[in-house]
Amino acid sequence: MINLNSRERKVLTEISSTYYMKPIIKRINSQIKSNSNIKLNWLNVFDYLYEILKDSRSDVEKLLDNRLDKNIIKNKDQARRSIVGNAFSKSIIYIFLINKVHENIPNKIYITSQVSVIPDFDKLTRIKIQDEFQKPDMDIVIYSEDNYQDYILISLKTSLRERAAQTYKWKLLIDIALYSPELRERYGISYSSSKVPIICFATTNFYNEINNPQQRGILKFFDRVFIARQIDHDNQSSIYPLSNLVTFAIENLMNYLQLSLF
């Protein structure tokens, strides 16, 4: 595929062939109308992921029943739990890569859930607390070929309850290591990199928790929060539609600003 390297094409093929992604991808593709602006549609489809994932549940349940009948899986509940998180991540990567195909995203920007492909990622993101190391809690990394030390780390969750708290605690440790000598010395905290990754959070908000005051307080620790549904941004000034992820990545990872994509 044009604009994708061999690794990206392989990832796209793997996602497309994953059994539970097939009905999800079918619904993603159905959002793209042939008689409309294809480039714009592929950006906007990010904001329909809530509906797409929700509407795909019955199809995924049928697939699980079939696999259970054939003894491919032993525990349907366990398989379902695994799918819930993985489907969100794979859907974002799939849509991101297709946007790259349609030239909405520059060639030099990459997305991955496999941090082993990024040089020195582990070394540049771990925080030392005395004799132990803390690593970021995240699901996806977006980075630029221009500078492998520039990262956008994204923690994904269909619910806000647990993962948001885990991720913002890691960001607080970085802030202590860089900006609070007293606390840094007291707790033996050190961070070897001089660059702080951009820390983001994305959710489908399946359980409508985003307006809970306690959850909204946690979200303020992130550099940007995205929601995979259509929202009235005037009433959600600190929360952005997931389609904004593309512009946000370009602005923060490229050596130039590309504010207009069309």
How would you write the pLDDT of the chain (262 residues) with one tens digit per residue?
667 999 999 999 999 999 999 999 999 999 987 667 899 999 999 999 999 999 999 999 999 999 999 989 888 888 888 898 799 999 999 999 999 999 999 999 999 999 888 888 888 788 989 988 888 878 999 998 776 668 899 989 876 665 566 667 888 888 888 889 999 999 999 888 777 889 898 988 776 666 666 666 778 888 999 999 887 654 556 889 999 999 999 999 985 434 434 3
Classify 145 in phi/psi space as left (phi over 0), alpha (psi -120 to 50) or beta. Answer: alpha
Tell me if 134 sits within 8 A of 189, measured CB to CB: no
**DSSP classification of residue 4:** -
Which stretches within the chain are classed as H helix?
Answer: 6-17, 21-30, 38-44, 49-55, 57-69, 76-101, 121-125, 163-179, 181-187, 213-219, 244-253
Torsion from C-alpha of 239, 244, 246, 249, nearest 10 degrees = -40
* pTM reported for the whole predicted model: 0.88
The per-residue pLDDT for 57 is: 92
Beta-bridge partner residues of 240: 226
Q: How many helices (H) and strands (E) does the chain have?
A: 11, 9
**pLDDT the model gives residue 261:** 42
Residue with tokens 């005051």: 213
Two structure tokens written together for 58: 């019955």
Distance between alpha carbon 20 and the CA centroid of its chain, in Å?
Answer: 19
Q: What would the two tokens of residue 16 be?
A: 């497309």
* Residue 164 confidence (pLDDT): 61
Name the one residue in this structure whose structure tokens are 């995205």: 226
Tokens 């070929």 locate to 145
Cβ proximity of 160 and 215 under 8 Å: yes
What pLDDT is recorded for position 16?
96
Q: Which of 91, 123, 69 has its CA nearest to residue 245?
A: 91
pLDDT value of residue 163: 57
Model pLDDT, residue 258? 45
